[in-house]
């Protein structure tokens, strides 16, 4: 007897299939239809560019905070972001700031904070007050010595004029790329409201309790680690930060810049979610990439990058890109240490680094040797300074000239320093996840042994390395410095005013003469004269040898073919807010 069809069973079956289909669609969307997963090679120390110079922090902050202008990824020219057009510029011919320039900016009418209030000129002034608060631990302060005052237009709270106290070629750029902070969020008690910017700049030794109170809360982890308190006017907001695991950004609903993004790529917010997966280890990052857990992988070790070119899965699913990288790798030498106090010893160490072998064997020709603090592709690079050759005999001669000999025939050079016989033993610190750094330091160690120097490699996590660098707790240290497009501002690393725990001059370089060259660089607008100053300061840096400049790399980036996106010479080499999913 045939079974009777049950109408209710049929309805249940249809409903089940509908739910299954719907849930599959939903799952597909959650798994990444409009999400992008990006490898972050180290965890940011904090999410505040006022307090850190970390490129890993900047990579995330690009989409949380916005600045007046930014370097456009393709042309590398300054392009308005929060302002209607590039500033009107006038030379100041009278008054307190005679000889300087006036830059007039007008903020976009549409720009708003997360609480719905407009981004105002007072927020820009507030940001500068934060930087100039003497108790805020900001390395950015050295960038704004040219600042005279900021006057807000009486009739337009979105319009303001910045007056400089001198001619400064980098002024527009420096004013443009600092992210603007909302006063309502970062100073809810209005602790800085009663101080003018001019007062703040003039009274760097002020002991006012309000300044200290503000700095205590701003410097704390609260406003640069807690997702609920990191507030900007950018496209995305931080929804979670799982330490050591990932940082998740979500596109803001009804974000004010959406309607402007068709004409300005810098305002785009194509992915609904950006997931930064913190994966310091290169092998782990490659494994995650092959397992389909990452869409963008940068800072791939050269050996792995070359191997990926022949991997069938990668060839089918990823594009491997090598855009220029405005960066250089170097060994910093702590000249405040007695063993490294003489430049003959420092030059001897430079002769012990076989960079030609390193570029062929460890870097796979994905970079070029460099000789100074300006990228070879940039204006002012000193092409006539000779690359320091690998030369054991020259190293041995220089060490002997500096008084280092093997007095007890144990194979290690020694010298009497402050009445005590000291052996030439040095530590070389580097990030453990940086394969190239480890290889170059091992190569240096082997060469150093041949002339009687003992070098001990010390691998550290990135955060620990930065802490030791800040504390000047190192002898040799492998690091890299990323540069912005445009002509180079050398003050941050090479001026003695940056020789502070929050500054970047931690090798002890500089004196009044070198400072004078750097100061003149800033105030010289004539390009030919400025080029001569660039050459002059590079000659001094070359002579003093506080850094052993190693090489300028190409970036090594893998991008999933599910996305359409361009790479750039501007750090970090790609801008995922502009990436579009193909399917």
The CATH number for 164's domain is 3.90.76.10
Cα→Cα distances 244→45, 230, 295, 388, Å: 11, 19, 19, 40
CATH of the domain at 365: 3.10.105.10
Among candidates 529, 39, 6, 535, which has minimal Cα distance to 298? 39
Do residues 206 and 307 share a domain? Answer: no
In 157-221, alpha helices (H): 171-176, 183-186, 197-202, 209-219
CATH of the domain at 307: 3.40.190.10
**Rounded Cα gap, residues 271 and 579, in angstroms:** 7
Cα→Cα distances 467→371, 460, 473, 570, Å: 27, 10, 8, 26
Do residues 519 and 563 share a domain? Answer: no
Per-residue pLDDT at 31: 44
Q: Say how many C-beta atoms besides its own lie within 10 A of residue 400's C-beta.
A: 14
Residue 384: inside a domain, yes or no? Answer: yes
Cβ neighbours of residue 60 closer than 8 Å, sequence gap 6 or more:
40, 44, 47, 238, 247, 249, 276
Do residues 525 and 573 share a domain? Answer: no
Do residues 127 and 267 share a domain? Answer: no
Residue 372: inside a domain, yes or no? Answer: yes
Do residues 265 and 374 share a domain? Answer: no
pLDDT digits (tens, 9 = 90+) for 500-541: 887 889 999 999 999 999 999 988 988 999 999 999 999 999
Total domains in the fold of the chain: 3
Per-residue pLDDT at 558: 98
Residue 12: inside a domain, yes or no? Answer: no
Residue 42: inside a domain, yes or no? Answer: no
Do residues 500 and 383 share a domain? Answer: yes
Residue 453: inside a domain, yes or no? Answer: yes
Per-residue pLDDT at 203: 87
Do residues 101 and 144 share a domain? Answer: yes
**Rounded Cα gap, residues 323 and 570, in angstroms:** 9
pLDDT digits (tens, 9 = 90+) for 29-48: 334 469 999 999 999 999 99
Among candidates 171, 175, 183, which has minimal Cα distance to 233? 183
Do residues 339 and 411 share a domain? Answer: yes
Per-residue pLDDT at 21: 33
Residue 1: inside a domain, yes or no? Answer: no
Residue 295: inside a domain, yes or no? Answer: yes
Residue ranges, the chain, pLDDT below 70: 1-33
Q: Which domain holds residue 163?
A: 65-217
Do residues 348 and 449 share a domain? Answer: yes
**Rounded Cα gap, residues 348 and 404, in angstroms:** 11
Last residue of a domain, one of 188, 217, 246: 217
Last residue of a domain, one of 170, 187, 217: 217
Q: What token pair was written down for 97?
A: 């700031």
Residue 242: inside a domain, yes or no? Answer: yes
Cβ neighbours of residue 65 closer than 8 Å, sequence gap 6 or more:
49, 179, 180, 181, 232, 233, 234
Do residues 183 and 262 share a domain? Answer: no
Sign of torsion over alpha carbons 281, 353, 362, 455: negative
Last residue of a domain, one of 217, 244, 266: 217
Model-level pTM?
A: 0.83
């Amino acid at each position: 007897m045939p079974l009777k069809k049950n109408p209710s069973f049929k309805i249940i079956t249809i409903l089940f299939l509908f739910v299954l289909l719907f849930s599959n669609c939903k799952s597909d969307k959650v798994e990444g239809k409009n999400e992008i997963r990006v490898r972050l090679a180290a965890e940011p120390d904090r999410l505040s560019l006022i307090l850190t110079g970390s490129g890993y922090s900047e990579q995330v902050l690009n989409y949380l905070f916005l600045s007046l202008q930014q370097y456009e990824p393709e042309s590398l020219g300054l392009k308005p972001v929060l302002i209607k057009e590039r500033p009107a510029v006038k030379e100041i011919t009278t008054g307190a700031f005679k000889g300087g320039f006036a830059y007039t900016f007008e903020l976009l009418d549409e720009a708003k904070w997360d609480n719905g209030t407009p981004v105002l000129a007072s927020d820009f002034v507030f940001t500068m007050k934060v930087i100039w608060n003497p108790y805020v631990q900001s390395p950015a302060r050295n960038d704004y010595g040219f600042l005279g005052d900021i006057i807000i237009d009486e009739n337009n709270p979105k319009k303001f004029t910045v007056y400089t106290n001198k001619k400064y070629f980098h002024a527009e750029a420096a004013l443009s790329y600092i992210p603007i902070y909302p006063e309502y969020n970062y100073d809810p008690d209005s602790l800085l409201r009663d101080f003018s910017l001019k007062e703040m700049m003039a009274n760097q030794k002020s002991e006012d309790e309000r300044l200290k109170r503000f700095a205590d809360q701003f410097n704390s982890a609260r406003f640069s680690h807690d997702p609920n308190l990191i507030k900007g006017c950018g496209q995305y907001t931080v929804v979670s930060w799982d330490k050591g695991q990932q940082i998740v950004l979500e596109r803001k609903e009804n974000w004010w810049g959406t309607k402007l993004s068709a004409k300005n790529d810098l305002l785009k917010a194509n992915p609904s979610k950006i997931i930064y997966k913190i994966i310091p280890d290169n092998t782990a990052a490659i494994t995650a990439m092959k397992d389909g857990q990452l869409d963008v992988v940068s800072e791939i070790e050269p050996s792995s990058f070359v191997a990926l070119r022949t991997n069938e899965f990668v060839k089918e699913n990823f594009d491997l890109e090598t855009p220029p990288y405005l960066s250089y790798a170097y060994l910093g030498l702590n000249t405040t240490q007695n063993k490294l106090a003489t430049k003959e010893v420092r030059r001897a160490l430079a002769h012990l680094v076989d960079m030609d072998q390193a570029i062929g064997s460890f870097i796979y020709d994905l970079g070029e040797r460099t000789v100074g603090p300006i990228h070879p592709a940039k204006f002012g690079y000193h092409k006539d300074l000779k690359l320091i050759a690998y030369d054991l005999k020259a190293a041995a001669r220089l060490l002997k000239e500096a008084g280092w000999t093997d007095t007890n025939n144990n194979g290690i050079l020694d010298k009497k320093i402050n009445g005590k016989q000291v052996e030439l033993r040095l530590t070389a610190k580097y990030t453990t996840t940086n394969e190239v750094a480890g290889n170059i330091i091992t190569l240096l160690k082997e060469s150093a042994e041949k002339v009687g120097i003992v070098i001990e490699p010390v691998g550290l996590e990135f955060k620990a390395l930065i802490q030791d660098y800040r504390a000047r707790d190192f002898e040799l240290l492998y690091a890299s410095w990323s540069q912005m497009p445009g002509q180079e501002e050398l003050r941050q690393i090479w001026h003695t005013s940056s020789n502070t725990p929050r500054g970047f001059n931690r090798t002890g370089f500089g004196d009044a003469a070198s400072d004078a060259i750097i100061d003149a660089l800033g105030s010289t607008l004539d390009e030919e004269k400025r080029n001569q100053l660039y050459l002059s300061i590079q000659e001094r840096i070359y002579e003093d040898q506080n850094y052993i400049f190693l090489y300028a790399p190409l970036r090594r980036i893998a991008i999933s073919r599910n996305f359409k996106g361009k790479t750039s010479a501007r750090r970090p080499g790609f801008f995922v807010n502009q990436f579009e999913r193909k399917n």
